[in-house]
């Protein structure tokens, strides 16, 4: 057992963990931050994606002991960071995923949203191809990715005050345009 000095979501923490524990295990089982998912646990699926110094990495393959002195951001830290920066509500990426229905089971979502957040921090106006490339290390077994890419496109459109592209399934009505809210409920 050793005492690790970690910086998680802006909090400086001391946490005791054995040297063979991964960052994911420390986050989930020592710090209770279960937003980072334990999927394949061997580097295939991307469900455990967290940001280390602002870049998406896989927490299931990162040894916790080697994460000391790095800034770690999990999905739990996205909204507080957004609000601390003067924003309202959740992070725009989280809002967009919600509005676009970019989930079914939700298991891949924390990793997806962190990959998307890191992309938008680096490149505020990515093309659809760049979005797909940035999210290519995050597997989703439910949605078919369409709404996920659309959610990031929506984020880009709103941050640049452009009208978001209307999805093919809603011709004539843009359900994601805040100026023209969709009539009727969308389940």
**Binding residues for other proteins (CB under 8 A):** 18-22, 38, 41-44, 46, 49, 55-58, 60-63, 65-66, 115, 133-134, 136-139
Residue 70 CB, shortest distance to other proteins, in Å, is 11
Supply the DSSP symbol for 74.
-
Residue 38 CB, shortest distance to other proteins, in Å, is 6
Terminus-to-terminus CA distance in the chain, angstroms? 49
Supply the DSSP symbol for 30.
I
CA–CA distance, 50 with 20 (Å, rounded to integer): 19
CA–CA distance, 157 with 145 (Å, rounded to integer): 18
Cβ proximity to other proteins: between 61 and 182 the closer is: 61
Cβ proximity to other proteins: between 47 and 158 the closer is: 47
Could you tell me whether strands 11-17 and 2-8 are parallel, antiparallel, or unpaired per DSSP bridges?
Answer: antiparallel
Residue 29 CB, shortest distance to other proteins, in Å, is 10
Cβ proximity to other proteins: between 127 and 136 the closer is: 136
Cβ proximity to other proteins: between 93 and 164 the closer is: 93
Residue 185 CB, shortest distance to other proteins, in Å, is 36
- Three-state DSSP class for residue 22: strand
């Amino acid at each position: 057992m050793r005492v690790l000095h970690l910086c998680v979501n802006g909090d400086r923490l001391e946490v005791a963990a054995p040297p063979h524990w991964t960052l994911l295990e420390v986050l989930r089982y020592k710090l209770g931050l279960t937003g980072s998912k334990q999927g394949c646990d061997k580097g295939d699926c991307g469900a455990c994606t967290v940001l280390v110094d602002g870049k998406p990495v896989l927490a299931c393959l990162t040894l916790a002991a080697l994460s000391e002195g790095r800034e770690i951001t999990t999905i739990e830290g996205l909204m507080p960071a957004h609000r601390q920066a003067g924003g309202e509500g959740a992070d725009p990426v989280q809002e967009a995923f919600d509005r676009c229905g970019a989930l079914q089971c939700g298991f891949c979502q924390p990793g997806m949203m962190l990959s998307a957040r890191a992309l938008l921090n680096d490149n505020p106006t990515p093309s659809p191809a760049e979005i797909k490339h940035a999210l290519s290390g995050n597997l989703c077994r439910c949605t078919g990715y369409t709404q996920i890419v659309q959610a990031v496109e929506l984020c880009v459109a709103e941050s640049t005050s452009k009208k978001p592209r209307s999805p093919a399934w809603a011709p004539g009505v843009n359900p994601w345009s805040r100026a023209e809210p969709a009539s009727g409920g969308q389940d």
